[in-house]
Structure 1
């Protein structure tokens, strides 16, 4: 019986690459940057109002830029944090599907009483997705109810 051997015409190339090669500790010490490339501005989106409020909240964006990722998303800090997509209201989850955005969680930044800024955090880059002036993407559960 003849022995079969595999013939290789070329060396295989790796199919996966590292997206962020920075040390996670360095990311925590870096300052946040904004990207507007994912901002949902479609008329059917319930959270498209950031452009008309930008002047009002520019100071808040600027203040966040002075903080590091670790300062903004400190684990004991309750206002800015990741929220699993499954906790978002069904309308927000459906909108993510429409936009073909597949993530496990979105990050939210508090902009005062009700307003929230929602996005995806990649390294120190916050990709803005929605401005939620009425805190409707993931309303807080009321205590003692």
Structure 2
């Protein structure tokens, strides 16, 4: 039988002791961003095959920077979900080939200029699928973020 005057060792924070750190950069499900690379497309026109190594290092570094952002910060910099029906014919065809045509949308992570990493997002879990160096998965004439930057420069 436990002694009534003993304090539990775990589960309580006595006054003046360290408190758990609460991360501000959480997604809608309350967790920080987490990457899962097990489902990257290793073939096809948007294969996760980044060369040279310096470019691969740059891409990974940019992805690491996303970990310190919440969803609002990520979307404020030009990253956004795109319905798969809006993707290029080549991208839609590749989704069929890799049996991922059940997806309603993909997340376009804007790294810089035309560089995109296309992902599947489920809550706070982001699964990179494609590397799109030249904005071919969802071609646009000019990126809206770049247009905003041009407007600021002209002012």
Q: TM-score normalized by structure 2?
A: 0.66
Q: In the TM superposition, what is the alpha-carbon distance from 1:48 to its structure 2 partner?
A: 1.6
For 1:54 and 1:35, the matched residues in 2 are separated by: 17
Pick closer, same or farther for the CA change 1:34–1:51 going to 2, 3 Å. farther
Aligned to 2:90: 91
Match of 2:11 in 1: none
Instruction: State the 1:78 CA deviation.
Output: 6.0
Q: Evaluate the alpha carbon distance shift between residue 115 and residue 32 of structure 1 in structure 2; reply closer, same or farther with a 3 A threshold.
A: same
Q: Counterpart of 1:41?
A: 42
Between the aligned partners of 1:123 and 1:107, the Cα distance in structure 2 is: 12
* CA distance in 2 between partners of 1:54 and 1:125 (Å): 21
Deviation at 1:129, TM superposition (A): 0.4
In the alignment, which residue of structure 2 is the partner of 1:132? Answer: 132
Deviation digits for residues 96-118 of structure 1 (CA, Å, limit 9, x no counterpart): 01111111100010010010000
Once superposed, what is the RMSD of the aligned Cα atoms?
A: 2.0
With normalisation by structure 1, the TM-score equals 0.70
Contact 1:89/1:138 (8 A) holds in 2: yes
Alignment of 1:6-17 (within 5 A): none
- Distance in 2, Cα, partners of 1:83 & 1:64: 18
Q: Is 1:62 the equivalent of 2:64?
A: yes
Aligned-pair distance for 1:51?
4.2
2:106 aligns to what SS in structure 1? strand
Deviation at 1:91, TM superposition (A): 0.6
Inter-partner Cα distance in structure 2 for 1:80 and 1:50: 21
Shift of 1:30: 3.1
Q: How far is the alpha carbon of 1:139 from its aligned partner?
A: 1.0
Matched with 2:16 is none
* Aligned equivalents of 2:56, 2:141: Cα separation in 1: 28
**Unaligned 5+ residue runs, structure 1?**
1-25
